Amino acid sequence: MTAADAIAGPAAKAPRLHFHGGVAGALAPFALFVAGVVSLGLSGAPDERGFWPVLVAALSLGLLLARERTAYCDAVIAGMSREIVMIMVMAWLLASVLGVLLTTTSFIEALTWTAGRLGLGPVAFVAATFLACIGVSTATGTSFGTILIAGPLLYPAGVLLGADPPTIIGAILGGAVFGDSISPISDTTIASAYSQNADIAGTVRSRVKYVVPAALLSLTAYLISAWRSSSALGAAGAIGGRPDGLIMLVVPVVVIALLLAGKHLLHGLLAGLMVGVVAGLVSGLLLPGQVLSIDRENFIARSFIIDGISRGLGISVFTIFLLGLVSALEASGIVDRVVGLTDRHISSARSAEGWIFAVTSLVALLTTHSIVAILTVGEFAGRAGAKFGIHSYRRANILDITVCTFPFLLPYFIPVILAASVTSGAAARGVPSVGPLATGLHNFHGWALLIVLLAAIATGFGRRFASDASSESARRQA
């Protein structure tokens, strides 16, 4: 997502909803959803479509427990119709179309051919994937965009080279998290800084001490995991790819260039699609009939675009239903109550930081939305931190790093589901898919960020007080 998407994310609050059973009744639908997703994840649910029945059941339970059922329906529809939901759905669908286009035009074979000629084995390819995704996500500021752009290309290429499937998709997701946590144009960076009245440049500089050590730790973990689980047999079979599809490199180049220029994610994806179709037709890698043809015997149209949209439906429907469920939970007022009950428990700078982390985590777990969590907890974080003089940079860092952990680790969050859906889309090439649970577990950068943040809060590493900034300013003036 971009900064503009972040501002558009949270919808206006719906009227307060009341449920039979009080707090337990309001939480019951969400608890059913989480339990269902985790259960399916543990049992090896094939893709996000397996979560549709769980979401429908959760929405139905909410309707049964709601005291004002019309208001409940209005809240669900309001959540589903948020602008950010439609942006994400369009992004999912178009990115899936791009993935099918690049697969059809042999770009994956070209990547494996190039990796073979460069001497990149599965272990080196995993490391290169993580670093490449770090570059894309930091430059563009979008974790979703990085997963959508890099996932359909690097995941199948890595597996064909012999890389362990969970490790390679984890490296893609981990690289996407890096940019989301530190890029100055990331939505979470902007929201966390603004919520604490901090300047973005200073906030980013102060965040390096947390993010870079986490990246080094996670890179080590990716190398170890790839070394222990990669298949040399797969690498040997993949080197025989073909270079024809290298011309299609123009597609991701165009998309990334437009995002770097500040264009909308949809702008970049549509432009990449148009350029890709032209390049494919001119090079002969894409036939006119693959763009659109009519099967008169079966009365259907065929197109790589139709195939791509069909593949993107799973994550799109999941997103729509999930945001409807979350909107009803938000309208119950539980999130606001959680934030309001914590002030009296704060007794020191360390406890203030601990409570900022805890409340932000809980709100993120309940709302499944990073920006909503930051904006909801922002006022509390400012109040709790200011009570003990904690610098605005430090408060913003705790907020941002927290929402860059759980949403990229747990199997019911959209980024993890999206990354897992990328692996499902590669199944047509005989590449195995990876479930959301395994995908999140192998996001070593997300786990490393969590470890570094908890250690920083416990030990005081990087803790800075507002008086530090005043003293530094005075020294500079002198």
Backbone phi, then psi, for 67, in 5-degree steps? -75, -35
CB–CB of 408/143 below 8 Å? yes
H or E, element range at 271: helix 265-283
**Using CA atoms in the order 343, 345, 347, 348, what is the torsion angle rounded to 10 degrees?**
-80
288 residue type, one letter: P
Q: What is the pLDDT of residue 44?
A: 61
Task: Give yes or no for a contact between 419 and 435, defined as CB atoms under 8 angstroms apart.
Answer: no
Give the global pTM.
Answer: 0.78
**475 assigned to some structural domain:** no
Measured CA to CA, the distance from residue 46 to residue 29 in angstroms comes to 23
Structural domain harbouring 381: 3-470
* CB crowding 117-126: b at 16 or more within 10 Å, else e: eeebbbbbbb
What pLDDT shows up at residue 114? 80
Splitting the chain (478 residues) into consecutive groups of 10 residues, what average pLDDT does each group show? 40 72 90 85 68 92 94 92 82 82 82 77 91 84 82 88 92 93 84 88 91 96 90 48 82 82 83 93 92 85 90 84 86 78 77 91 85 82 87 94 93 88 75 88 96 95 73 38
Alpha-carbon gap, residue 82 to 80, rounded angstroms: 6
Q: What is residue 473's predicted lDDT score, i.e. its pLDDT?
A: 40
Beta bridge partners, 390, equal: 465
> How many distinct structural domains can be found in the chain?
1
SS3 annotation, 199-244 = CHHHHHHHHHHHHHHHHHHHHHHHHHHHHHHCCHHHHHHHCCCCCH
Amino acid at 343: D
Residue 308, C-beta contacts closer than 8 angstroms, at least 6 positions apart: 93, 94, 96, 97, 98, 99, 100, 101
Cα 54 from Cα 29, distance rounded (Å): 10
Identity of residue 387: K
Note the pLDDT of residue 439: 93
Whether residue 331 is contained in a domain is answered as yes
CB 418 within 8 A of CB 145: no
478 falls within a domain: no
Q: Would you say residue 476 lies in a domain?
A: no
What residue type is 345 in one-letter code?
A: H
> 390-413: b or e for each residue (b if 16 or more CB lie within 10 Å)?
bbbbbbbbbbbbbbbbbbbbbbbb
Closest CA to 361 of 449, 463, 421, 442: 449
Give residue 84's pLDDT: 73
R_g of the chain computed on alpha carbons = 23
Query: Which pLDDT belongs to residue 173?
Result: 96
Q: Is residue 477 part of a domain?
A: no
Burial label, 42 (beta-carbon count in 10 A; 0-12, 13-18, 19+): exposed
